[in-house]
């Protein structure tokens, strides 16, 4: 269940360990994509640059699972989050009841990182903490 970094994904996992969500952008056509690969999936350009994404996105789709899985207390959601920068990634929604009432499609979410091993911290998403408390 623990992802194994490859040469292509190593910078991504290096980022998550430091609390950064990193994506690649094509230097030629500016396409932003995920998962990491050494060339642009749109134009096949090989000049691509890593950058740190905002960590914000919206809930694109999800499934709620009710059976136990290693590392997961049921019920838990397997979700697809569409990042502000465009790419979609498979993840879990946390800090939120795992119900259709709480998991609203298109709701704003933000990244949080859960450390699994010395090498791997998983990017998970929680409902965006929109309201900022202002003390009078
Ligand atoms: Zn491109």
pLDDT digits (tens, 9 = 90+) for 44-101: 999 999 999 999 999 999 999 998 888 778 899 999 999 999 999 999 999 999 999 9
Q: 109-134 b/e with 16+ CB inside 10 Å = b?
A: bbbebeeeeeebbbbbbebeeeeeee
Q: Residue 76 and residue 27: Cα distance in Å, rounded? A: 38
Interval between CA 39 and ligand 1 midpoint (Å): 8
pLDDT of residue 123: 97
Q: Residue 108 and residue 60: Cα distance in Å, rounded? A: 10
Interval between CA 40 and ligand 1 midpoint (Å): 5
Question: Is this model's pTM higher than 0.85 or not?
Answer: yes
């Amino acid at each position: 269940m623990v992802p194994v970094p490859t040469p292509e994904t190593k910078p991504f996992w290096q980022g998550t360990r430091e609390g950064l969500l990193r994506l690649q952008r094509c230097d030629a056509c500016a396409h932003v994509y995920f998962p990491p690969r050494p060339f642009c999936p749109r134009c096949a350009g090989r000049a691509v640059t890593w950058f740190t994404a905002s960590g914000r996105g919206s809930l694109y789709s999800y499934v709620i699972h009710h059976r136990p899985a290693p590392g997961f207390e049921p019920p838990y959601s397997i979700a697809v989050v569409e990042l502000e920068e465009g790419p979609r990634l498979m993840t879990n929604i946390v800090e939120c009841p795992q119900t259709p009432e709480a998991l609203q499609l298109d709701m704003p979410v933000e990244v949080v990182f859960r450390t699994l091993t010395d090498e791997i911290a998983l990017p998970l998403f929680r409902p965006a903490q929109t309201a900022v408390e202002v003390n009078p």
